[in-house]
Structure formats: C-alpha cells, structure tokens
Amino acid sequence: MEDAALISGTLAGRKEDFEVLVERYQRRLYAFATRVLRDPDTANDVVQATFVRAYTSLKSFRGDAGFGTWLHQIALNECRNRLRAQSARKMVPLDDAPEAALARSDAPTEGLRALVGHLVEKLPPRQRTVLSLRLFSDLPFREIARCENISENAAKVNYHYAVKRLRQWLTEARAT
C-alpha cells in the first residue's frame, strides 16, 4: 500500500494505517539517528519522538517531499535538539580518555568499523548528516537538500568532501 493511502487512512481515523508506516520507516530512522547521535538509547528515544511528532502533525504534511523525507527531517530536528542539550555536558575528547576505557576488538572488521565510526564523528556536522542520510538512509540528494535546507548541489558537495576526508583519514590511519 502506498504511503499516501496510509496517510489518508490515518487521517480518517485508522490507527492501524499509521502502524504500517511506523513499521515501514522505523529501522531506517533508527539507523539514521544512531549514526548522527552515536548512542542507541538516545536514537531509540528520537525515533519514538519522531513518530509521535509525525502523528500529531500529520495534517500539516503537504506531500511536497516524500513521507520518508519528511520523517527524516523530523528525526534530524529531534537529533539536533538532543545534541544541543548534550553540548551543555562536558565531553572528554577521545585522545584524553584513558586507554583502558576504550573498547578493544580483536576482530579486524570490528576495529575498522570502530575506526570509521570514530572518523565519521570527526566530520563537520553538516557533512556527517549528509553522509548519513545518503549512505544509511539511502535518500537521493534532492531529498537530502530538503532535509538540510540547502541546495542539491550543496548536498552533493558536502557528501563529496565527507567521503574525501574519510578516505584521507583512513589512508593516514593505515600508514601509522
């Protein structure tokens, strides 16, 4: 069933139609929020808040963009709110953390995954968000541009620079 039909059904009072939408988008939103926030528990809270907000604001959905893009925009705003709230807390830079506190993995793929995750976190916020929306939520650049309120070309440029930086950092990490 198409999103539009499920949205119409939800607005007509069929809550089970909204449940289908939740099932359809929940995993993608969770993966996206986890990438942005780097905290599964907070990401879960963000996904729940996203669906609550979407449900209560469904009447305002105009359909200019796809429903999935609209949900990602809500999730991105929720993530940004959480990050703003967290910025008040003092963070310890990874370089200053005691080595014993850092997770160790003997598996090369786990180590590489952790390294890539750490490098993605080092990207500027916009590049990190564009990269996450493109790679992990599989959104086209046009939809990413709408989510970020930037031009499609700016979305492509941010993605390009994010990938370029990651390649450079990975090359440097392998050299050491």
Q: 6-16, pLDDT tens digit by residue?
A: 999 999 999 99
In a domain, 124, yes or no: yes
Give yes or no: residues 68 and 15 share one domain.
yes
Q: Assign 109 a pLDDT band (cuts: 50, 70, 90).
A: low
SS (H, E, C) 101-143: HCCCCCCHHHHHHHHHHHHHHHCCHHHHHHHHHHHCCCCCHHH
Give yes or no: residues 79 and 5 share one domain.
yes
**Over residues 67-73, mean pLDDT:** 93
pTM of the entire structure?
Answer: 0.61
Task: Judge whether residue 105 has pLDDT over 50.
Answer: no
Find the domain containing 72 and state its range.
1-90
Domain tally, the chain: 2
Query: Position 102: which residue type?
Result: L
Of 33, 65, 43, which Cα lies nearest the Cα of 145?
65
Q: What pLDDT is attached to residue 106?
A: 47
